[in-house]
Amino acid sequence: MFGMLLRVYGVACLVASCATEPSSPSYTLPLQTPLAAWSCPRAGTVVEWEDSRGKHGTNHFEGADTDNPEVCKWKNKAGVERRSWFLARDVEQEWLPDERTRFQEAMRALLNGQAQVVSFIDRRDNQQVTHSWRIVGEESYAMSGAPVRAVRISVNTTTSSNGRSSGFTRWYDPERHLWLKTHDERSGVERRVVAIDDP
Protein backbone atom coordinates (compact mmCIF):
# COMPACT_ATOMS: atom_id res chain seq x y z
CA MET A 1 0.00 0.00 0.00
CA PHE A 2 2.80 2.40 0.83
CA GLY A 3 5.23 1.20 -1.76
CA MET A 4 7.13 -0.86 0.83
CA LEU A 5 7.51 -4.00 -1.25
CA LEU A 6 10.03 -6.44 0.20
CA ARG A 7 11.90 -9.25 -1.49
CA VAL A 8 12.46 -11.86 1.16
CA TYR A 9 15.15 -14.51 0.86
CA GLY A 10 16.62 -17.04 3.22
CA VAL A 11 15.56 -17.70 6.79
CA ALA A 12 13.06 -15.70 8.80
CA CYS A 13 13.94 -15.35 12.47
CA LEU A 14 10.92 -15.32 14.78
CA VAL A 15 11.50 -14.11 18.31
CA ALA A 16 8.76 -14.48 20.90
CA SER A 17 9.97 -11.54 22.96
CA CYS A 18 12.60 -8.83 22.94
CA ALA A 19 13.91 -6.01 25.09
CA THR A 20 11.58 -3.05 25.24
CA GLU A 21 12.47 0.53 24.41
CA PRO A 22 12.54 3.19 27.14
CA SER A 23 9.05 4.16 28.22
CA SER A 24 7.43 7.09 26.48
CA PRO A 25 4.14 8.91 27.10
CA SER A 26 3.23 8.52 23.41
CA TYR A 27 2.98 4.73 23.33
CA THR A 28 2.80 1.70 25.60
CA LEU A 29 4.27 -1.79 25.66
CA PRO A 30 3.13 -4.50 26.00
CA LEU A 31 0.06 -4.02 23.85
CA GLN A 32 -3.13 -3.37 25.78
CA THR A 33 -5.18 -5.49 23.36
CA PRO A 34 -3.83 -8.65 21.68
CA LEU A 35 -3.51 -8.55 17.91
CA ALA A 36 -6.24 -10.36 16.01
CA ALA A 37 -5.48 -12.87 13.28
CA TRP A 38 -4.57 -11.17 10.01
CA SER A 39 -7.20 -10.71 7.33
CA CYS A 40 -7.41 -8.34 4.39
CA PRO A 41 -9.34 -5.07 4.78
CA ARG A 42 -13.04 -5.56 4.10
CA ALA A 43 -14.22 -5.16 0.54
CA GLY A 44 -15.53 -1.65 0.03
CA THR A 45 -13.06 0.01 2.40
CA VAL A 46 -11.73 3.26 0.91
CA VAL A 47 -8.59 4.94 2.23
CA GLU A 48 -7.52 8.51 1.54
CA TRP A 49 -3.81 9.23 1.94
CA GLU A 50 -1.30 12.04 1.56
CA ASP A 51 2.46 12.42 1.87
CA SER A 52 4.86 15.12 2.99
CA ARG A 53 5.78 15.94 -0.63
CA GLY A 54 2.26 17.06 -1.46
CA LYS A 55 1.05 13.90 -3.18
CA HIS A 56 -2.31 12.38 -2.33
CA GLY A 57 -4.70 9.70 -3.51
CA THR A 58 -7.18 6.99 -2.61
CA ASN A 59 -7.01 3.21 -2.39
CA HIS A 60 -10.11 1.05 -2.85
CA PHE A 61 -9.94 -2.38 -1.23
CA GLU A 62 -11.70 -5.39 -2.70
CA GLY A 63 -11.09 -8.06 -0.06
CA ALA A 64 -8.91 -11.14 -0.20
CA ASP A 65 -7.84 -13.13 -3.21
CA THR A 66 -9.97 -16.24 -3.71
CA ASP A 67 -6.89 -18.49 -3.74
CA ASN A 68 -5.15 -17.09 -0.64
CA PRO A 69 -6.66 -15.05 2.23
CA GLU A 70 -3.31 -13.33 2.89
CA VAL A 71 -3.26 -11.77 -0.58
CA CYS A 72 -5.25 -8.53 -0.66
CA LYS A 73 -6.80 -6.94 -3.74
CA TRP A 74 -7.03 -3.17 -4.12
CA LYS A 75 -7.07 -0.38 -6.70
CA ASN A 76 -5.33 2.98 -6.63
CA LYS A 77 -6.76 6.34 -7.65
CA ALA A 78 -6.11 5.60 -11.31
CA GLY A 79 -8.04 2.34 -11.08
CA VAL A 80 -4.97 0.14 -11.48
CA GLU A 81 -5.57 -3.20 -9.78
CA ARG A 82 -2.93 -4.45 -7.34
CA ARG A 83 -2.51 -7.60 -5.28
CA SER A 84 -0.11 -7.85 -2.38
CA TRP A 85 0.79 -10.12 0.52
CA PHE A 86 -0.19 -8.50 3.84
CA LEU A 87 -0.26 -5.19 1.89
CA ALA A 88 3.54 -5.37 2.13
CA ARG A 89 4.79 -7.21 -0.95
CA ASP A 90 3.46 -7.19 -4.51
CA VAL A 91 2.59 -10.69 -5.71
CA GLU A 92 3.81 -9.77 -9.20
CA GLN A 93 7.41 -9.67 -8.01
CA GLU A 94 9.47 -12.75 -8.81
CA TRP A 95 9.73 -15.30 -6.01
CA LEU A 96 12.96 -17.07 -5.13
CA PRO A 97 12.99 -20.67 -3.76
CA ASP A 98 11.12 -20.83 -0.46
CA GLU A 99 10.84 -17.04 -0.43
CA ARG A 100 7.08 -16.89 -0.18
CA THR A 101 6.95 -19.38 2.68
CA ARG A 102 9.60 -17.52 4.71
CA PHE A 103 7.92 -14.19 4.13
CA GLN A 104 4.48 -15.51 5.05
CA GLU A 105 5.73 -17.15 8.24
CA ALA A 106 7.45 -13.99 9.42
CA MET A 107 4.70 -11.51 8.62
CA ARG A 108 2.02 -13.82 9.95
CA ALA A 109 3.87 -14.16 13.25
CA LEU A 110 4.34 -10.40 13.60
CA LEU A 111 0.85 -9.29 12.61
CA ASN A 112 -0.91 -12.09 14.50
CA GLY A 113 0.93 -11.15 17.68
CA GLN A 114 2.94 -14.37 17.90
CA ALA A 115 6.29 -12.56 17.73
CA GLN A 116 7.48 -9.11 18.73
CA VAL A 117 10.43 -9.21 16.33
CA VAL A 118 10.84 -10.78 12.89
CA SER A 119 13.83 -10.63 10.56
CA PHE A 120 14.19 -11.26 6.83
CA ILE A 121 17.28 -11.72 4.70
CA ASP A 122 17.11 -10.75 1.04
CA ARG A 123 19.54 -10.30 -1.83
CA ARG A 124 19.97 -7.01 -3.67
CA ASP A 125 22.66 -6.54 -6.29
CA ASN A 126 24.45 -9.64 -4.97
CA GLN A 127 24.48 -8.21 -1.46
CA GLN A 128 22.80 -9.59 1.63
CA VAL A 129 20.36 -7.20 3.30
CA THR A 130 18.80 -7.94 6.68
CA HIS A 131 15.41 -6.44 7.52
CA SER A 132 14.25 -6.38 11.12
CA TRP A 133 10.67 -5.47 12.08
CA ARG A 134 9.93 -4.84 15.76
CA ILE A 135 6.73 -3.96 17.58
CA VAL A 136 7.58 -1.14 19.99
CA GLY A 137 4.14 -0.27 21.34
CA GLU A 138 0.75 1.17 20.58
CA GLU A 139 -0.66 4.69 20.50
CA SER A 140 -3.61 6.76 19.39
CA TYR A 141 -3.51 7.73 15.71
CA ALA A 142 -5.32 10.92 14.75
CA MET A 143 -7.13 11.33 11.45
CA SER A 144 -10.48 12.53 10.14
CA GLY A 145 -13.16 11.29 12.52
CA ALA A 146 -12.38 9.48 15.74
CA PRO A 147 -8.76 8.51 16.48
CA VAL A 148 -7.88 4.83 16.11
CA ARG A 149 -5.58 2.45 17.98
CA ALA A 150 -2.32 1.95 16.09
CA VAL A 151 0.55 -0.47 16.63
CA ARG A 152 3.92 1.20 16.14
CA ILE A 153 6.51 -0.92 14.31
CA SER A 154 10.18 -0.05 13.89
CA VAL A 155 11.83 -1.33 10.69
CA ASN A 156 15.59 -1.40 10.09
CA THR A 157 17.67 -2.67 7.17
CA THR A 158 21.38 -3.43 7.20
CA THR A 159 23.62 -4.30 4.25
CA SER A 160 26.21 -6.93 5.15
CA SER A 161 28.99 -5.75 2.79
CA ASN A 162 29.32 -2.22 4.16
CA GLY A 163 27.23 -2.23 7.33
CA ARG A 164 25.08 0.57 5.97
CA SER A 165 21.75 0.77 7.72
CA SER A 166 18.51 2.65 7.28
CA GLY A 167 15.24 2.71 9.13
CA PHE A 168 11.66 3.78 9.13
CA THR A 169 8.60 3.52 11.34
CA ARG A 170 5.20 2.15 10.37
CA TRP A 171 1.84 2.45 12.12
CA TYR A 172 -0.58 -0.46 11.73
CA ASP A 173 -4.33 -0.55 12.43
CA PRO A 174 -4.96 -4.07 13.79
CA GLU A 175 -8.74 -3.76 13.58
CA ARG A 176 -8.93 -2.82 9.91
CA HIS A 177 -5.61 -4.49 8.98
CA LEU A 178 -4.31 -1.34 7.31
CA TRP A 179 -0.93 0.38 7.28
CA LEU A 180 -1.73 3.91 8.46
CA LYS A 181 1.57 5.72 8.19
CA THR A 182 5.20 5.29 7.12
CA HIS A 183 8.00 7.62 8.24
CA ASP A 184 11.44 7.35 6.60
CA GLU A 185 14.03 8.17 9.25
CA ARG A 186 16.71 9.20 6.76
CA SER A 187 14.75 11.42 4.37
CA GLY A 188 11.99 12.48 6.75
CA VAL A 189 9.39 11.66 4.08
CA GLU A 190 6.04 10.55 5.47
CA ARG A 191 3.00 8.96 3.92
CA ARG A 192 -0.12 8.76 6.05
CA VAL A 193 -3.76 7.83 5.92
CA VAL A 194 -5.97 10.85 6.60
CA ALA A 195 -9.43 9.26 6.30
CA ILE A 196 -11.01 5.80 6.14
CA ASP A 197 -14.47 5.08 4.75
CA ASP A 198 -15.63 1.76 6.17
CA PRO A 199 -18.29 -0.25 4.30
CATH classification at residue 109: 2.40.360
Three-class secondary structure of residue 167 per DSSP: strand
Distance CA 75, CA 181 (A): 18
**CA gap 136, 27 in Å, rounded:** 8
Domain annotation covers residue 4: no
Residue 26 C-alpha from the chain's centroid: 20
Q: Is the pLDDT of residue 98 over 50?
A: yes
What is the H or E stretch that residue 22 is in? none
| Residue 19 vs residue 97, higher pLDDT | 97
Does the residue 2 lie in any domain?
no
Q: Decide if pLDDT at 7 tops 90.
A: no
pLDDT of residue 18: 37
Residues near 7 by Cβ (< 8 Å), separated by ≥ 6? 89, 93, 96, 99, 122, 123, 124
Please report whether residue 128 resides in a domain. yes
Confidence tier at 29 by pLDDT (50, 70, 90): low
Q: Give first-to-last CA distance, the chain, whole Å.
A: 19
- What was the pLDDT predicted at 145? 75
Domain containing 53 equals 9-197
For residue 106, the SS3 value is: helix
Torsion angle in degrees (nearest 10) through CA of 187, 102, 150, 92: 70
- Total of domains in the chain: 1
pLDDT of 131 reads 81
**Residues 6 or more apart from 1 whose CB is under 8 A from it?**
47, 59, 74, 84, 87, 178, 179
Count Cα neighbours of 120 within 13 Å in the Cβ-side half-sphere.
27
